[in-house]
Chains A and B, each alone.
Chain A
Amino acid sequence: MAIKVIKPGLSTTVQDLGRPGYYHIGIPVSGGMDRLALKCANLLVGNKEGAAVLEAVFMGPELQFTEDAVVAVTGAELPPLVNGEPRETWTSFKVKKGQTLSFGFLKKGARAYIAISGGIDVPVVLGSRSTYALGALGGFKGRKLDVGDRLPVGKGRVVKEGRRIPEKLRRSPGAPAELRMVPGLYWHRITEAAGKQFFSDTWKVAPEADRIGYRFRGGKPLDFVPREQPFGAGSDPSNIVDACYPYGSIQVPGGTEPIVLHRDAVSGGGYFMVGTVISADMDLIGQLQPHTPARFVEVTMAQALKARNDQTKLYDKIKSSL
Chain B
Amino acid sequence: MAQLLSPLPGTFYRRPAPDKPVYKNDGDKVAKGDVVGLIEVMKSFTEVKADAAGRIKFIAENEEPVMAGQPLADIG
Binding site for B on A (CB under 8 A): 10-11, 57-59, 104-107, 110, 207-210, 289-291
Contact = CB atoms under 8 A, between A and B. Distances in A.
B69 A58 contact: no
Contacts, number: 50
Contacts of A107: 68-69
B3 interface: no
Nearest to B6: A105
A111 B53 CA distance: 32
B42 A209 contact: yes
Given A10-B42, A58-B68, A105 B7 contact: yes
Contacts of A106: 8-9, 67-69
B40 interface: yes
Contacts of B9: 58, 106, 110, 289-291
A128 to B, nearest CB: 22
Contacts of A290: 9-11, 41, 65
Contacts of B20: none
Contact of A207 (B7, B42, B68): B42
Interface in B30-76: 40-44, 46, 65, 67-69
A210 B44 CA distance: 11
A10 B10 CA distance: 12
A208 B43 contact: yes
A57 B68 CA distance: 12
B7, B8, B43, B44 pick with most chain A CB within 10 angstroms = B8
B12 to A, nearest CB: 11
Nearest to B7: A59
* Closest 6 pairs (CB-CB, A-B): A105-B69, A106-B68, A291-B65, A210-B42, A289-B9, A105-B68
A117 to B, nearest CB: 28
